[in-house]
Amino acid sequence: MQAFFDHFFCVALTAALVCGNASGTDQLSALESRIQTAPAKIVNALLQQGGIVGDWKLSIETYDENQNKKLDPQERGKAFSNHFFFRFNADGSALVNFNATAEHAFKAKYKLSKRKDLQFISVYIDGDDNEGPDALRGGYYIISVDKSEMVLLEAAMERAIWIFKKS
């Protein structure tokens, strides 16, 4: 990642030196500003592209008994089977279903944001253009996500923890 920023900065600096005038200096300042804000955008893009994108089947559900917004081993040990399905696409579209398949799923869209210092995903069922509270299918704190498992904390009551497996 650092190599990317170093390369990007070198290209920007070269462009500024070639220009050799005040506008080149202004362009360099603008590029430096963009470089400083790039890490957050890159992390969000990587989470969206490599993290949550794909088909996810709810494997088990449990409860955040100590309300620490984490999946503790004793909570995982008390988990029970449940069914739900998400398909998150890289373009922000999604499918949502109350069983474990994409068949007959609702079309939706999702947005990633930050809440309470945690990554947050909002899911909206298609058909409501204003994305108000009535359109929201759910909001979830992303406790963790890797290539095979995604752990979400349901935001309404901040109690139910859903453990998804990537299919």
Residues 88 and 161 in one domain: yes
What pLDDT was estimated at residue 127?
76
What pLDDT was estimated at residue 163?
98
Per-residue model confidence as pLDDT tens digits over 121-167:
999 988 765 555 445 567 999 999 999 999 999 999 999 999 999 98
Residues 66 and 103 in one domain: yes
CA angle 136, 105, 98 (to 5 degrees): 70
Q: Which domain holds residue 24?
A: 2-49
Selected residue with higher pLDDT from 29 and 160 = 160
Over 60: is that where the pLDDT of 84 sits?
yes
Residues 65 and 14 in one domain: no
Take residue 108 and report the two structure tokens written for it. Answer: 């939706």
CA distance linking residue 29 with residue 67, whole number of Å: 45
**pTM of the predicted structure, to 2 decimals:** 0.67
Residues 30 and 95 in one domain: no
CATH number at residue 87: 2.40.128.280
Average pLDDT, integer, range 59-73: 96
Cross-strand partners of 121: 112, 140
CB 110 within 8 A of CB 124: yes
How many folded domains does the chain comprise? 2
What pLDDT was estimated at residue 17?
39
